[in-house]
Amino acid sequence: MVDNYDQLVDRISNSSNLKKEEIERKVEAKRAKLSGLVSKEGAAQIVAAELGINFDQERMKISQLVQGMKRANVIGKIVDVYSIRAYNKNGREGKVANLLLADDTSNIKVVLWDVNHIDLIEKEKIKKGDVIEISNGGVRNGELHLGSFSDLKKSKESMGAVVVERVYGEMKLKDLRPGQSAKIRAFIVQSFQPRYFEVCPTCGKKATAGKCAEHGEVEAKKRALLNLVLDDGTESMRCVLFGEQINKLGLSDEEIFSLDKFDLKGKELLGEERIFSGNVRSNELYNTVEFTISDVGEIKSDELIKELEAKG
């Protein structure tokens, strides 16, 4: 979801017949009144409500979805359906299903919690390639969550080409908000030793003592998790990489899974500038914003020269 705030301001401006500058002044005033405790997107939604603008019944493009929305309505094509998972948390048991929904502007992961919605997946009443309509979905951490008050049905509308690749907006660390997908150009200023865990070779889920909850005893595969601190001149932020993304830093498996060798290589990473793409999430345990990196790219000198020339 790229440039959510700008798109939200545009929609409020069009619905209220007020200039964008006026809307932005109202947003900043609202944030100041609330001591900066709400994001710009959240303040914009409050301003919209005060202006009598109700987006509850409006169908939106996926690229227009904003973190914190509780009654989002979208239509899209299912481009992938993931395995249904069972869970047991705080004494509550149930199942959760995930699918990837796309339209001509972007795509988003949809999380199904209601048994009736999950039943549609299990009985293949909705499947990959179908166009579906969603009402009253909630947006959090870059995902569209459907509960018992949400509606999900197969649509009679057709849909042509859709955006399958993840869309990342070029942003600064200081502007990141949970739920955004972003591309950041930043320096590595701190690295921590990797942490290791095991996963099932069949489903990729965590395996404990050589056992998978779904597939029983397995020959588990070792995986790594790496934390970095990035700095782009506007802010520093803790980030996390998993698996193959760590290799994209230039580390071999041998250097990743040997702490002694990693300590030597990890020092070489400090001060390196790269382009990092990923998703922004809330770490509820530590009450912080965290950047989960899904891709690492080199900075190409020819592209940098073109960028500087454009600015000059």
- The residue extents of the domains of the chain are 1-54, 56-163, 169-311
Classify residue 91 as left (phi > 0), alpha (psi -120 to 50) or beta: left
For domain 169-311, give the CATH number.
2.40.50.140
For domain 56-163, is the CATH number 3.90.550.10? no
pTM of the model: 0.60
What is the model's pLDDT at position 57?
67
Angle at the Cα of 142 from the Cα atoms of 214 and 233, rounded to 5 degrees: 120
Q: One fold for both 56-163 and 169-311?
A: yes
Q: What is the mean pLDDT of the chain?
A: 86
Tell me what the mean pLDDT of segment 24-49 comes to: 86
The position carrying tokens 């990342």 is 168
Query: Across the strands, what pairs with 290?
Result: 281
Per-residue pLDDT tens digits for 234-268: 999 999 999 889 999 999 999 999 999 998 888 88
Per-residue pLDDT tens digits for 194-213: 999 988 888 877 888 888 87
Per-residue pLDDT tens digits for 154-196: 999 999 899 988 778 788 998 887 777 889 999 999 999 999 9
